[in-house]
A and B are shown apart, each in its own frame.
Chain A
């Protein structure tokens, strides 16, 4: 049952427009169309690259925050975790709309910048805006995953490292960091997957100039009505993600074996 919609999409991607479930012709034309169009390939590349940047930023920002939370007193920890999750109580679409007010010309950011002499800064419809929106929305997943693996760590391991002569930095690099690899891996998974197929964040904050693969799929289904082509792109994305995930899982299982 769970696979049925997936199979249907696979089926649609392999037939011609206008065909039905009872009378159809198998074709690879939809796939050929995608891989021969330079614009589509560019959008695919752009999607992957912005998802990578998002993931990297989430990791760089998220790790210190997760580390700080895991090292704070138990009581404060639960408060901080709650603060991290609070934005998730509000619909993602609404949260993203709120960023328009912050980033737009005459909005919060440009007003503050204007005090320092940068006039008329408009971040809307730029890669920066899309990145900010993505990082903002997906950062909590990264923090929570890393925090979980850090707070599971036995604090006596750090005492042991210190006892054996390791300075705090050495302890971190040799003990804490390797032991948090499983958290990092699942954080990356949880950020990269939705980021690569995001469509309304680039639509709202990137406008027409930051069209990503998610927007193309949405367009094919809703605006253009080319379900077969839309399905083909979805299948291509699914395969790319499957490949990436199997790669990540390999790293993860290695990390798990080490952490176990």
Chain B
């Protein structure tokens, strides 16, 4: 019985963490190029509704994910045009994108309100899914969960092992210097922003097609903001983003189990609901407080517009 509970909590934790990982890793790449896009919440919402509508009409959840990806990237490119080409203030443009995206998703999603999709069966990995306790939780999951792990390794490899990642980090540190040695700063920033938007769109698609296969207005429920905060508190490092996302998911799920168990504890439920936020921030701040490592990992020109003079 205890083993089942453990497996159930772990399973739910991984599921709850996945949309955060997808979105936050995209934002991490985005921000490592020096562009701060606060519109994650809006991009997730638009991704979610686009994915739901496509999956609903086509019957294919995978076309839905693709639609979410494209919709998120399209939203991000609108932001990119404002923030990179027109050099508008990134904070203001990002906030506008967040608000606009949430509203747009609600508007487009009206006809789909309270419709549901057939649940997508999980993919059970052979052999390792039979590992006691862990197997059922980790290796009998949705395909996008496995995709989020692959994304983690891909981002890690890209940032620290590939030349393109090196160029991206250089652009985020000093766009002027990167331009001076001949790298296309504007193009790289556009690509990074589009990638961030695409991943946020996939994060949204995971919510509306796999996690709870239905469309409800406001179903993103602040996850875009949490993903943004995760990236900062994880000091722009992929492993810490993963850790933070699962920590958040874990505490979220555990407190739901505790509340659901109806234990007679004299404890305000609001406090329990705020626990995931508190715990994530406290832990990430505690492990990321060495000023030297922060300096080495944070993109120095984050949020500063740059355009090479003609």
Tell whether A and B belong to one assembly. no
